[in-house]
Amino acid sequence: MTFAFEMIAALIVLVRYRSLPASKLIIAVLLCLAIFQLAEYMICVSALDLSSLGWARVGWVAISFLPPLGVHLGMIIAGKSQRLIVGLGYAIAIGFSAFFLTVGHAVQGGACLGNYVIFEMARPALTYYILYYYVWLMVGTAAAFIYARAMKQPARRSALNWLGIGYLVFIVPTIAANLLQPETLAAIPSVMCGFAVLLAAVLLFVVTPKLAQLHK
């Protein structure tokens, strides 16, 4: 269901809002979320001639690009050009993706546990990855709210504020789940992307329509 919603959301943005400057980034975020959800499902069924380990690699790559895509999206909405910051984020995501795809022991497997899926990664790479992920998510959240305060156009200000809220609605529940159930630490990507459907809904139903108001 989550995969279907995110794919349909991406299709709606493509069909209805493709002329928006931010549409490609919004679609990219939605597709990365959808690909991860697909990878989760495939780990449980080992389909399409790819092992659960192979699908785990696909899942890690898909979510690696979410933080820089989010930061980039915020910059585009705000009309800012922070090429160094955005470029650094993508470079780190590409580096981790290459690590997942080419290093044999980088991804050690995936396990389907019903409510969530465990994606095992070699340590200490996992520590560095979590640090990268949360730092860039916090950068994206903070930037969205900070830039929103400086925006004179109500629609642009609202879009940035809602983008920040979109971040929070899946970051905060994930942290809460980790604190209440420490065993979910081994399934952070799965838990986080489970809540990220809320981000997808915010992007589709609030952020994108707000941006469309700027181009009427």
Q: What is the pLDDT of residue 109?
A: 61
Query: What's the pLDDT at 62?
Result: 92
Q: Where are the domains of the chain?
A: 2-211
Q: What's the token pair of residue 198?
A: 């809320």
DSSP string, 87-133: HHHHHHHHHHHHHHHH-TTTEEEEEE-SS-EEEEE-TTHHHHHHHHH
Burial class (CB in 10 A: 0-12, 13-18, 19+), 114: exposed
**pLDDT score at 50:** 72
Q: Domain 2-211, what fold?
A: Rhopdopsin 7-helix transmembrane proteins (1.20.1070)
Return the pLDDT at 177.
76
Condensed to tens digits (0 to 9), the pLDDT of residues 169-179 reads 888 887 887 77
CB atoms within 10 A of CB 22: 22
Contact by Cβ (8 Å): 5, 200: yes
Q: What is the pLDDT of residue 111?
A: 61
pTM equals 0.91
pLDDT in tens, 183-205: 666 666 667 767 788 999 999 99
pLDDT < 50 positions in the chain: none
What pLDDT does residue 166 have? 94
For residue 206, the model assigns a pLDDT of 97
